[in-house]
A and B are shown apart, each in its own frame.
Chain A
Amino acid sequence: MAANYWNSSQFKKWFASFDQFALSRPTFDDSSIEYWNLIKSFGTKLKVRQRAQATAAVLLKRYIHAVKHEPKERELFVTACLYLASKVEECPVHIRVVTAEAIQFWPDSVKPSRSLIAQTESHILSHLDAYVIVFHPYPTLEKIYRENLITKKQLELAWGLVNDSYATQLSLICHPHEIAYAAALWACADDPQALLKLKPSLEKIDVFRITACMQHLLALAGRLGQS
Chain B
Amino acid sequence: MHQSFSNSSIGRNDATFHSNGVSVVESHNAATSSMDVCYYKHEFDAGAFESRKVQQGHFYVAEVADEHTSSSKDIREKITSTQALGNVKQFLAPLLHEKYAEEPNFEYSDFKPPPRVTLQESKRASWFQDLANHLVPLSNLAKRIPHGIWGKDILRSCMSYFVPINRAAWFIKCVGVNEARAFLRKNPNNTVDDWYANWTASVCALLSEIVSSMVDMKQRSLQAKQFSYVLQIITYLIQNDLLNETHMLQHVLRFLYESNASSLPKAILVLEFFWCRIMDKPQIAQIGVILILDFLKILKSSFYGLPAELKSSFDQRLNLLLFRLAYKRPNCYFMPDQWKTIELQLKYAWRRFPGSANVYAVIHERNSRSHRLINPLNKRFRFLEILNSLNPTSDWKLVTSDLLKLLPTDETLHLIIKWCVGINHMYLVEKPYYTAMLFRYADLNIQTLQENILHFLFNFDFSHPNEVTALAVLLDELHQLHLFSFSTYIKLLAAKGYLRDSMRNTEVVNKHCQFLMQYPVHNLRRSIRTAVHNILIRNGVKIHWEAVDQYIQQFRKNPKTFHFADDELYSIVSLTLSRLLELIGDSTMQAYFLFILCWRYSALRVIDRAVPIMRNNGIMRLSLLILLVKGLTLTPILRKFIIEMSTKDEILSEAEKAVLIQLDSLYKLDLNVNYTFVIPLFVVQQNYMYERVQNEPSCLKKFMLRPNIQAEELVEYLTDTLEHTIKDEEIIFTNTCLQCLKVMSNASLISQKIHNLVRKWLFTNPCEDMRLNKLLHIARARLISIEELSILLNELLTADTVGEVGKELCFKIFSYRLSRTDDGSKEWYSYSEILQLVRCSIDMQNIIRKAISGFSHNRMFMLNTLALLYTLDFETSVSLFSSKEELRDIVCTFIPQLCTIDIRESFRLALEKCDLFYTTLYSLWLYTLDERQLSRLSFDFLFDSLAATFPRYRPELWQNMCLGLSFCKDLFQEVILRTLSTFKALPQEFLSDVCSISAWILKHNPDKHFLNQLSQMFPSRMKLVYSWCKTVGNDETKQLELQSWVMLFIHLLLHFHSYLKQPNLIHQLNTFAQIPFIFDNPHIIDILTDAKTFLLQSEKMNDKAEQAKSLAPWEDIEGLTLQGKTPYTLQQFDPKRTTSQLFFWTLKNSSEH
* A207: min CB distance to chain B, Å: 5
- Is B67's beta carbon under 8 Å from chain A? yes
What is the 8 Å Cβ interface bit string for chain B, positions 62-73, against chain A (1 contact, 0 not)? 111111111111
Which of chain A's residues have a CB closer than 8 A to the CB of B76?
221-222, 224-225
Quick check: which of A8-16, A70-78, A79-87, A97-105 contacts chain B, the rest being far away? A8-16
Alpha-carbon separation in the docked complex, A195 to B121 (Å):
70
- Is B111's beta carbon under 8 Å from chain A? no
Check A14/B87 contact, CB under 8 A, given A23-B1127, A160-B74, A208-B1133. no
Partner of A224, one of B26, B68, B72: B72
Alpha-carbon separation in the docked complex, A160 to B1149 (Å):
19
What is the 8 Å Cβ interface bit string for chain A, positions 36-61, against chain B (1 contact, 0 not)? 00001000100001110100000000
Partner of B1148, one of A207, A208, A219: A219
Alpha-carbon separation in the docked complex, A215 to B90 (Å):
15
* B808: min CB distance to chain A, Å: 81
Which of chain B's residues have a CB closer than 8 A to the CB of A120?
none
- Is B1027's beta carbon under 8 Å from chain A? no
Which of chain A's residues have a CB closer than 8 A to the CB of B84?
186, 189-190
What is the 8 Å Cβ interface bit string for chain B, positions 15-47, against chain A (1 contact, 0 not)? 011110011001100110000101111101011
Which of chain A's residues have a CB closer than 8 A to the CB of B87?
189-192, 195
Alpha-carbon separation in the docked complex, A175 to B41 (Å):
12
Which of chain A's residues have a CB closer than 8 A to the CB of B44?
139-140, 142-143
* B31: min CB distance to chain A, Å: 5
- Is A212's beta carbon under 8 Å from chain B? yes
Check A18/B1133 contact, CB under 8 A, given A219-B1148, A221-B75, A225-B72. yes
Contact A6 B88 (CB under 8 A): no
Which of chain B's residues have a CB closer than 8 A to the CB of A134?
none
Check A205/B69 contact, CB under 8 A, given A186-B88, A221-B76. no
Of all chain B residues, the one with the shortest Cβ separation from A44 is B68
Which of chain B's residues have a CB closer than 8 A to the CB of A35?
none
Alpha-carbon separation in the docked complex, A32 to B8 (Å):
35
* A153: min CB distance to chain B, Å: 10
* B686: min CB distance to chain A, Å: 70
- Is A123's beta carbon under 8 Å from chain B? no
Contact B1147 A218 (CB under 8 A): yes
Contact B70 A223 (CB under 8 A): no
Contact A189 B1149 (CB under 8 A): no
Alpha-carbon separation in the docked complex, A196 to B83 (Å):
16
Check A223/B68 contact, CB under 8 A, given A138-B62, A143-B44, A202-B95. no
Which of chain B's residues have a CB closer than 8 A to the CB of A164?
70-72
- Is A156's beta carbon under 8 Å from chain B? yes
Alpha-carbon separation in the docked complex, A44 to B87 (Å):
36
Check A157/B74 contact, CB under 8 A, given A50-B62, A177-B40, A202-B95. yes
Q: How many A-B residue pairs have CB under 8 A?
A: 211
Contact B96 A211 (CB under 8 A): yes
Partner of B63, one of A145, A196, A207: A145
Contact A203 B83 (CB under 8 A): no
Which of chain B's residues have a CB closer than 8 A to the CB of A141?
63
- Is A185's beta carbon under 8 Å from chain B? yes
Contact A160 B69 (CB under 8 A): yes
Partner of B79, one of A145, A207, A218: A218
Which of chain B's residues have a CB closer than 8 A to the CB of A192?
87, 90-91
Alpha-carbon separation in the docked complex, A90 to B58 (Å):
10
Contact B75 A22 (CB under 8 A): no
Contact A50 B88 (CB under 8 A): no
**Size range of the chain B interface in the assembly:** 35 or more
Of all chain B residues, the one with the shortest Cβ separation from A215 is B1144
Alpha-carbon separation in the docked complex, A186 to B58 (Å):
32
Of all chain B residues, the one with the shortest Cβ separation from A201 is B40
* B459: min CB distance to chain A, Å: 58
Which of chain B's residues have a CB closer than 8 A to the CB of A212?
1133
Contact A222 B1149 (CB under 8 A): yes
Which of chain A's residues have a CB closer than 8 A to the CB of B92?
185, 207, 211
Alpha-carbon separation in the docked complex, A129 to B46 (Å):
24
Contact B16 A189 (CB under 8 A): no
Which of chain A's residues have a CB closer than 8 A to the CB of B74?
157, 160
Which of chain A's residues have a CB closer than 8 A to the CB of B42?
4-6, 135, 175-177
* A185: min CB distance to chain B, Å: 6
Of all chain A residues, the one with the shortest Cβ separation from B1130 is A19
Choose among B31, B36, B88 the residue with the greatest number of A CB atoms under 10 Å from its CB.
B88
Check A27/B1153 contact, CB under 8 A, given A17-B26, A204-B39, A214-B88. yes
- Is A226's beta carbon under 8 Å from chain B? yes
Check A26/B1153 contact, CB under 8 A, given A13-B17, A222-B1148. yes
How many chain A residues touch B (CB < 8 A): the figure is 84
* B643: min CB distance to chain A, Å: 50
- Is B708's beta carbon under 8 Å from chain A? no
Of all chain B residues, the one with the shortest Cβ separation from A195 is B91
Contact B1127 A163 (CB under 8 A): no
Choose among B31, B44, B100, B1127 the residue with the greatest number of A CB atoms under 10 Å from its CB.
B44
Alpha-carbon separation in the docked complex, A26 to B1133 (Å):
14
Contact A156 B99 (CB under 8 A): no
Which of chain A's residues have a CB closer than 8 A to the CB of B39?
204
Which of chain B's residues have a CB closer than 8 A to the CB of A12?
13, 27
What is the 8 Å Cβ interface bit string for chain A, positions 167-178, against chain B (1 contact, 0 not)? 000000001110
Partner of A208, one of B22, B78, B1135: B1135
What is the 8 Å Cβ interface bit string for chain B, positions 939-969, against chain A (1 contact, 0 not)? 0000000000000000000000000000000
Contact B75 A161 (CB under 8 A): yes
- Is A179's beta carbon under 8 Å from chain B? no
Partner of A28, one of B67, B77, B1151: B1151
Partner of B1152, one of A19, A157, A219: A219
Alpha-carbon separation in the docked complex, A218 to B1145 (Å):
9
- Is A116's beta carbon under 8 Å from chain B? no
Contact B17 A222 (CB under 8 A): no
Alpha-carbon separation in the docked complex, A79 to B42 (Å):
31
Alpha-carbon separation in the docked complex, A216 to B138 (Å):
45
Which of chain B's residues have a CB closer than 8 A to the CB of A63?
none
Of all chain B residues, the one with the shortest Cβ separation from A141 is B63
Which of chain B's residues have a CB closer than 8 A to the CB of A23?
1127, 1129-1130
Alpha-carbon separation in the docked complex, A140 to B42 (Å):
8
Which of chain B's residues have a CB closer than 8 A to the CB of A155?
63-64
Contact B88 A17 (CB under 8 A): no
- Is A130's beta carbon under 8 Å from chain B? no
Contact A160 B71 (CB under 8 A): yes
* B50: min CB distance to chain A, Å: 14
* A155: min CB distance to chain B, Å: 6
Contact B46 A218 (CB under 8 A): no
Of all chain A residues, the one with the shortest Cβ separation from B1144 is A215
* B366: min CB distance to chain A, Å: 30
What is the 8 Å Cβ interface bit string for chain A, positions 114-147, against chain B (1 contact, 0 not)? 0000000000000001000001001111110110
Choose among B39, B42, B1149 the residue with the greatest number of A CB atoms under 10 Å from its CB.
B42
Choose among B18, B30, B68, B75 the residue with the greatest number of A CB atoms under 10 Å from its CB.
B75
Contact A50 B38 (CB under 8 A): no
Alpha-carbon separation in the docked complex, A157 to B79 (Å):
13
Which of chain A's residues have a CB closer than 8 A to the CB of B17?
13-14, 16, 65-66
Of all chain B residues, the one with the shortest Cβ separation from A25 is B1153
Check A189/B85 contact, CB under 8 A, given A20-B22, A164-B70. yes
- Is A29's beta carbon under 8 Å from chain B? yes
Alpha-carbon separation in the docked complex, A19 to B63 (Å):
34
Choose among B71, B79, B90 the residue with the greatest number of A CB atoms under 10 Å from its CB.
B71
Which of chain B's residues have a CB closer than 8 A to the CB of A149?
none
Contact B40 A205 (CB under 8 A): yes
Which of chain A's residues have a CB closer than 8 A to the CB of B67?
49-51, 159, 163
Report 6 cross-chain contacts, Cβ distance below 8 Å, ordered by A residue.
A26-B1151, A156-B64, A175-B42, A190-B87, A205-B40, A219-B1151
Q: 10 more A-B contacts (CB under 8 A) besides A5-B42, A190-B84, A192-B87?
A: A3-B47, A26-B1151, A28-B1151, A146-B63, A152-B64, A163-B69, A176-B42, A190-B82, A207-B99, A211-B96
The 5 closest A-B pairs by CB, nearest first: A160-B71, A17-B23, A225-B76, A189-B84, A3-B47
